[in-house]
Chain A
């Protein structure tokens, strides 16, 4: 049981390049999330998906797009990377229920130069 798997673990991009962060969960969760973690700040929600086929903006969605490919997979795309997007990105999932834990991936450390 792998839980939440995200790839890649590390990535360096040049300004203007694009990339997609992949996330998959095997817990049959309806809800999936993308967060970014920056020094001195709490995790901030970029986008979330409450169910397959639906996505919603979080607190910091600018410069990102997402795709909920199916119930298992939720990808995050940077179309034109900027140095301000240098961060650690976490994917998470949870059951669609009030009283439920969230399960996180191992994180992707992205540097944009």
Chain B
């Protein structure tokens, strides 16, 4: 079993829909990252969380440390949100990002 599990693996939705992508992990962590990867493109950091909730524009990320679970929400989804969303965790007590463990990603497609 992977230390980081994402669901769903693939998600197709209509433009305007509210999107939720989930990430569950099995180890104690000090931080969780949400990353975005466009087709053929690089990887961009969206959020880094250690507790609670963060919001950037239409994107919201939440984390529940006790339940070892995080969600990424997209409100009013748009075709330009189509990308792979990757969750990564840093195990407790590690210093720096060299011990990040990555999920396999959720491929999101937004249809106009």
Q: Does B31 reach chain A (CB closer than 8 Å)?
A: yes
Given contacts A102-B33, A103-B45, A104-B43, contact A42 B102 (CB under 8 A): yes
Is B7 located at the chain interface by the 8 A CB criterion? no
Q: Which chain A residues have a beta carbon within 8 Å of chain B's beta carbons? A: 31, 33, 40-45, 48, 50, 56, 58, 90, 92, 94, 96-107
Q: Tally chain B residues at the interface, Cβ within 8 Å.
A: 25
CB pair B104–A50 under 8 Å, yes or no, is no
Report which of A33, A41, A106 forms a contact with B42, defined as CB distance below 8 A.
Answer: A106
Q: How far is the CB of A39 from chain B (nearest CB, A)?
A: 9
| Complex Cα gap A40–B84 (Å) | 12
Chain A contact residues: helix, strand, loop or mixed: loop
Bound Cα distance from A33 to B95, whole angstroms:
14
Residues on the B chain within 8 Å of A105, using CB: 42
| B56–chain A nearest beta-carbon distance, Å | 12
8 shortest interchain CB distances as A-B pairs: A42-B102, A104-B43, A106-B42, A43-B102, A101-B45, A48-B98, A94-B97, A102-B97
Tell me the bound Cα distance from A96 to B86 in angstroms: 22
Min C-beta distance of A71 to chain B, whole Å: 15
B104 contact set on A, CB distance < 8 A? 40-42
* A109 nearest CB neighbor, chain B only: B40
